[in-house]
């Protein structure tokens, strides 16, 4: 018998409230999370917990559906080499998320498994179910509400392993006790500063202040992913857009100057037309805050152009957005963006 499961992670703010989940069917799934974590940590934890939850069935093949090439490459391509080098990369730098990777290395010993990459937010039933549950946990941590943790895997040991899901009781408004989303032992790397608060309501970049609540491609992926040439252009462009929406990048005039095309323009959700110079100046004052993004499509219009369409959600509401990226002398750069509030 082959066990087929999807594993996914989510983070609001990156780092920020984070969730993970794996899903087989409605009667067999599990989820958890942390008050602060990254999307990649959530993706890794989902895989780790799936191996732990099926440890009582070592003879069964495990087929893991995953939309993170970072996770797949870490486990199937790079982990053995990192382990031989003392958990360091080819350039001698420490491997990111090493604690989770070491636990995965132990959990997969003697197991029969394969990974299959699936495109995220593309209507794949199992992937969508895992994503929905991971995001629900992240939102529960953000809002201090309860989130379901799932029934788990039939026959799995009831004992919670180190780093596994445990209930978290938190005091609610007015002193009432509420049970928040389940949590796992938060990775040390996740204890970082939250995104700065919004300074004014007028949109700064992409029609509103904010950034993607997902891990950016280049800070969370190791160097091998970029140098291997195996990453689809769609993933590279999406990673760059996520990078551009990080507060630290938006506050770095040098980096955002590289990411914005010389002819960049935007029509914001307020109807305002932004030039590149006006946008660079606005970002000096307001780097924005975290929002959640749902990717709708990433379309390669030509060899040198890419169109992203997505839905953003924040406290101000939801918006539909489009970004046009151009390949300019070997560098993908944002040429145009437009956002429209969703009624």
d(CA 213, CA 211): 6
d(CA 149, CA 314): 24
Residue 61: active-site member: no
Q: From the candidates 19, 43, 235, 243, which is the catalytic residue?
A: 43
Q: From the candidates 60, 105, 121, 294, which is the catalytic residue?
A: 121
Residue 277: active-site member: no
Residue 43: active-site member: yes
Residue 33: active-site member: no
The residues near 266 (Cβ < 8 Å, ≥ 6 apart) are 205, 206, 207, 273, 274, 279, 336, 337, 338, 339
State the distance between the two ends of the chain, measured CA to CA, in whole angstroms.
Answer: 47
The number of beta carbons lying within 10 Å of the beta carbon of residue 122 is: 13
Q: From the candidates 49, 67, 103, 235, which is the catalytic residue?
A: 67
Residue 8: active-site member: yes
**Nearest CA among 32, 31, 39, 33 for reference residue 13:** 39
Give catalytic residue positions: 8-9, 43, 67, 121, 131
């Amino acid at each position: 018998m082959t066990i087929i499961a999807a594993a996914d992670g989510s983070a609001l703010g990156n780092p920020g409230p984070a969730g993970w989940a794996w899903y087989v069917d409605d009667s067999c799934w599990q989820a958890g999370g942390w008050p602060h974590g990254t999307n990649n940590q959530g993706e890794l934890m989902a895989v780790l917990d799936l191996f732990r939850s099926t440890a009582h069935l070592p003879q069964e093949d495990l087929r893991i559906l995953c939309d993170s090439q970072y996770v797949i490459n870490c486990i199937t391509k790079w982990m053995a080499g990192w382990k031989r080098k003392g958990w360091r990369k080819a350039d001698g730098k420490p491997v990111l998320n090493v604690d989770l990777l070491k636990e995965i290395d132990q959990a997969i010993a003697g197991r029969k498994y394969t990974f299959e990459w699936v495109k995220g937010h593309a209507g794949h039933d199992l992937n969508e179910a895992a994503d929905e549950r991971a995001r629900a946990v992240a939102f529960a941590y953000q809002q201090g509400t309860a989130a379901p943790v799932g029934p788990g895997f039939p026959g799995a040991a009831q004992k919670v392993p180190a780093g596994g899901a445990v209930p978290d009781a938190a005091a609610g408004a007015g002193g009432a006790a509420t049970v928040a989303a389940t949590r796992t032992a938060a990775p040390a790397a996740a204890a970082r500063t939250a995104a700065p608060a919004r300074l004014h309501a007028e949109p700064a970049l992409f029609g509103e202040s904010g950034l993607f609540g997902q891990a950016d491609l280049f800070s969370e992926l190791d160097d091998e992913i970029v140098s291997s040439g195996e990453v689809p252009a769609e993933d590279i462009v999406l990673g760059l857009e996520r990078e551009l929406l990080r507060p630290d990048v938006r506050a770095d005039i040098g980096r955002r100057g590289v990411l914005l095309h010389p002819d960049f323009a935007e029509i914001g959700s307020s109807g305002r037309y932004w030039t590149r110079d006006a946008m660079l100046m606005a970002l000096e004052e307001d780097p924005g805050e975290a929002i959640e993004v749902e990717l709708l499509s990433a379309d390669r219009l030509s060899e040198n152009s890419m169109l992203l369409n997505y839905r953003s959600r924040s406290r101000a509401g939801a918006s539909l957005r489009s970004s046009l990226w151009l390949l300019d002398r070997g560098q993908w750069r944002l040429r145009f963006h437009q956002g429209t509030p969703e009624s």
